[in-house]
């Protein structure tokens, strides 16, 4: 599994969340909501500079984005792609099986 972020998503994190070099963003599972990979669950994020069990991470522009081992089940083998949609002014998460586009 991997995490991929677009340049516009990274810019959004820096501007809207006021992230600085060295900050860490954890993507985690929350109950309720919906996603194409798990019914009744959705994805959220928090700034978490004290990870416990990083299972997957990517580093871009001085920032670390990660998922804890306890949340890997949510992805059901999919990679996480994070983008920013300017029209709705929100992050968009997409889930792609390795090898698919």
Structure tokens at 1: 């599994």
Question: Hey, what are 98's tokens?
Answer: 């390795």
Q: What is the pLDDT of residue 101?
A: 61
Domain boundaries defined on the chain = 3-96
| Nearest CA among 43, 48, 85 for reference residue 63 | 48
pTM: 0.90
The topology (CATH level 3) of 3-96 is Hypothetical Protein Aq_1857; Chain: A; (2.60.300)
CA distance 79 to 44: 15
The predicted-structure confidence for 23-46, as pLDDT tens digits, reads as follows: 999 999 988 777 777 777 889 999
Pairing mode, if any, of strands 79-85 and 3-5?
parallel
pLDDT of residue 86: 93
The C-alpha atoms of residue 69 and residue 62 are separated, in whole angstroms, by 22
pLDDT in tens, 48-98: 878 999 999 999 999 999 999 999 999 989 999 999 999 999 999 999 998
Q: Which residues contact 53 (CB under 8 A, 6 or more apart)?
A: 68, 69, 70
């Amino acid at each position: 599994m991997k995490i991929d972020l677009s340049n516009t998503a990274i810019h959004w994190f820096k501007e809207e969340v006021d992230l600085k070099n060295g900050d860490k963003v954890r993507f985690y599972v929350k109950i309720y909501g919906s996603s194409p990979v798990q019914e009744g669950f959705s994805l959220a994020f928090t700034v978490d500079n004290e990870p416990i069990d990083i299972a997957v991470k990517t580093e871009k522009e001085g920032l670390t984005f990660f998922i804890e081992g306890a949340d890997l089940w949510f992805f059901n083998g999919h990679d996480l792609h994070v983008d920013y949609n300017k029209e709705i002014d929100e992050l968009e998460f997409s889930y792609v099986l390795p090898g698919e586009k």
